[in-house]
Structure 1
Amino acid sequence: MSEHSISASRVIDAPADAIFEVLTLPSRHQQIDGSGTVVSGDDQRIQQVGQVFVMNMNGEHMGGDYVMENTVSGYDENKLLAWRPKPQGAELEGWEWIWELEPQGPGQTLVTETYSWEHATPEAKKAVSFPLFEDRALEQSLERLAAAVSEK
């Protein structure tokens, strides 16, 4: 863990394109979410930087149900997917989720998930105690991603 981010990595027995296919479909994020906060997501596939996708969320830190608007901040097909979340109706922003995929040979990919609050606004840092999630939540996301990719 750095001062402004946490990361977890895992080799998944699947090619990068199969993993990227799961990651770029927000409707599958509830299936892979290790934090337990994602309820559902858009059915539209993520395809480019600047695209906005919506996730329905639930967490005590936000008082229950809320909607998160996510702006894609990084996109390199089968290599990188990143987005910056912003709760609808709140001036809390500046953190980022980053997924990096690195082929490790036939049918294996090293996947690294990073949760960064390096650019979180002062308002966000005041409202949210970063890191909001522990390393274990990222490890669980990677476990769940491996399971989701294997079941297609």
Structure 2
Amino acid sequence: MTDQEKLSATLTIDAPAANIFAVLADPTTHSSIDGTGWVQEALDRAPLTAAGQVFRMAMHHARHPDGDYRTVNQVQVFDPPRAIAWLPGQEKGDGDLELGGWSWRYDLVPLDDSRTEVTLTYDWSAVPDFIRARGIPFPPFGPDHLVDSLRHLAELVA
């Protein structure tokens, strides 16, 4: 699915929704799920347990000014085993969060006891003008990234 400021992909995964959700709620698995190779490792390794929780990731992107950088993510939706979403951003010098306005969301629909339809959505509709003015393209990857991420997720829970 694509609309003006959202990109989604759906895949049926041969695993129960609870097993898939547990992998998504574990930040240490995110580098294995990522279809771009940008996510390097979890800096906060505790499982995600609630909306509002913050977790940090080490990242790398060749076109980033520093190459290696860190993101801070705030859990927006935590509804086991149906949905999980987070908003990426950065930590300002004073410890406050500056979220970028884009989000990652996984919706899980059990089809039976051992198969789950998983939809991954990247939504950049809330990106503020000052970030858009920096010339960052949205989305910064093609739709194949979402499909690759879902395939990686399926491999992890197999």
TM-score (norm: length of structure 2): 0.90
> 1:139 aligned to 2:147?
yes
Given the alignment, which residue of 116, 120, 126 partners 1:113? 120
Identity %: 37
Which of 83, 86, 91 is 1:83 aligned to? 86
2-side partners of 1:126 and 1:40: how far apart? 29
CA distance in 1, matches of 2:98, 2:86: 17
Match in the other structure for 1:35: 36
Match of 2:105 among 98, 102, 111: 98
Q: Distance in 2 between matches of 1:100 and 1:13?
A: 15
Residue aligned with 2:51, SS: coil
CA distance in 1, matches of 2:49, 2:98: 26
> What is the one-letter code of the residue matched to 1:94?
G
CA root-mean-square deviation: 1.4
Partner SS state of residue 140, structure 1: helix
Partner of 2:61: 59
- Separation in 2, partners of 1:32, 1:20: 13
Distance in 1 between residues matched to 2:46 and 2:147, nearest whole Å: 26
- Single out whichever of 98-107 and 80-89 deviates more from structure 2: 80-89
User: Partner amino acid for 1:36?
Assistant: G
Give the deviation of 1:126 after TM superposition: 2.1
For 1:124 and 1:81, the matched residues in 2 are separated by 25
**TM-score, normalized by length of structure 1?**
0.94
Gaps of 5+ in 1: none
Give yes or no for contact 2:31–2:41 (8 Å, CA) kept in 1: yes
Which secondary structure does the structure 2 equivalent of 1:49 belong to?
Answer: coil
**1:97 Cα deviation (Å)?**
0.4
More helix by share: 1
Please list every run of 5 or more consecutive structure 2 residues that lacks an aligned counterpart in the other structure: none
Maintained 8 Å contact 2:87/2:99: no
